[in-house]
Structure 1
Amino acid sequence: MITVEELSKRYGAHQSVDRVSFRALPGSVTGFLGPNGAGKSTTMRMMTGLTPPSAGRSTVLGVPYVDLPNPGRHVGVLLDASAQHTGRTGREILRLGATMMGLRRQRVEEMLDIVGLSADEGDRRVGNYSLGMRQRLGIAHALLGDPQVLVLDEPANGLDPAGIHWMRGLLKGFADRGGTVLLSSHLLHEIEIIADHLVVIGRGVIVADGSKASLLDAAGTLVRGLEPIALGNCLDGGGFTHRTAADGAYVVQATREQIAQLTAHHGIVVTELRAADGAGLEDMFLQLTAVDAREKVTA
């Protein structure tokens, strides 16, 4: 389990993170969302002892990360796949980690196999790795100590579609075995597929925190019609709160049944009517992390 309580970080006059609180639970994947500069990476660096907080505290498995004995055996961390010694081979980096953690050397070969790096690639210098290969190596290092918790910042960055599919299965399997995953990403579709719980940060504060289902339910129903203006007028007449999505559809705070009854009564031809899901997640993200999104919102 990860617990973050009133965590704050100030750089001079700039408040980077302001009283952030949330939990990531065992057996689940928690998606940590926010635009660039929102405070995601700073929060994760404070959680893992790399940046001292100005106020507040965080614990992993019940204690501060810095107080964990041999932390790599308990928490796997990947914050920057490019921060690896480019002159060493992938195998050398993993062997050094295994030595520091007191692991048997065979664990290195197991991890190379798990993340899909061949023997030849393991012997290649990291400076010659693609970004996707560095991500795989970083994930291998995070999993090296067989931890109970994973803290990953943008782990899909640089992976091709097959690599993203592989990572999705790897992390879901880790959570299904009782592990805790905190996953930061700007790929909303991937977060929607893999995450059980969502925490959204904007301008250094938490603006949404809840289960994926509850947040998407709050996003409403997506409806599209042959005559968008007539459909909008119909929704207005029915007293339903709605907004226009980026592709011109309407996201309505009403059930599908309510919308179907209203549009049928007025003879409006509807071409699409469904839960907002993916579109709702994108709209919710854009709305909550807009410039004026300062106050906390709960699911």
Structure 2
Amino acid sequence: MEKSNGVIVFGASGLIGRYLYTYLKNNGEKVIGTYFENPEEGLIHYDLVNSSIDELDLRDIKYAIISSAATKLDKCKDNPEYSQKVNVFGIKKLIKEVSKKGIIPVFMSSASVFNGLTGGYSEEDERDPISLYGKQKVEVEDFLISNFKDYLIIRPGKIFGVQKCEGVLFTDWYEKYKKNEEILCADDEQLAPTYAKDVAEGIAILIQKNCKGIYHVNYPEHFSRYEMALNFFSFLGINYNKFRSCSIKDFNFSEKRMKNSYLNISKFIKETGFRFTPLEECYKEIIKNI
């Protein structure tokens, strides 16, 4: 990858932020990373609500990737004042501050801006969020679209990593299997499992190509969680008797969940020609790490 201008990743200790920071660093880019609650070596503490970017050395930084947020749907609903302060007020403040310095904001949005009744949404489709988290994402998207010319909005699929500690989808299921715990997977929820490294690389390519606007970035196929777990354990050669299907309604969530969160990625593929990592290759990486 050719060298681009420098990048700061807000939220570099989170799942997607960590992969972004690592990918850019490994490719020789100038990159700064921040954390809020989870300190990691090389990262700088930054509080979306109370910190100021004047505390940071942003010389030669052209892009600010904003992946820091309160992301748990139930926690957002149960703590609306806090989540609004972080996900809307804090991020709007950050966008204004970086833009004043000529830095282009790259906002990590979500498929949650849609209602999930159909799936396969394009970037132009009408947004109709059913969760507070989704409504907060829409509010920030609207703020960007209405007030700024140069920006990127990324709506990713269901992101997973391949490290043991990341506990999302496949790694979570395997940890439960090792503990002989019951694994319940909804068979009426369709999503596109997307490797965090692919999202990181995709964003880096969009930045390198000076792309602007909204892009959907998720795996080109979609499955139910039950199908994904079946495929994963089949690949491992495991027949687990504490694994069963259920409905998304069987979980005691306080917030509504989308039934179809997969997105149309035609625009992203046309712009980048990107090839996503096959799930089987991700399984191999997971096996190495667990």
Superposition TM-score, scaled by structure 2 size: 0.30
Larger Rg: 1
Greater strand share, structure number: 1
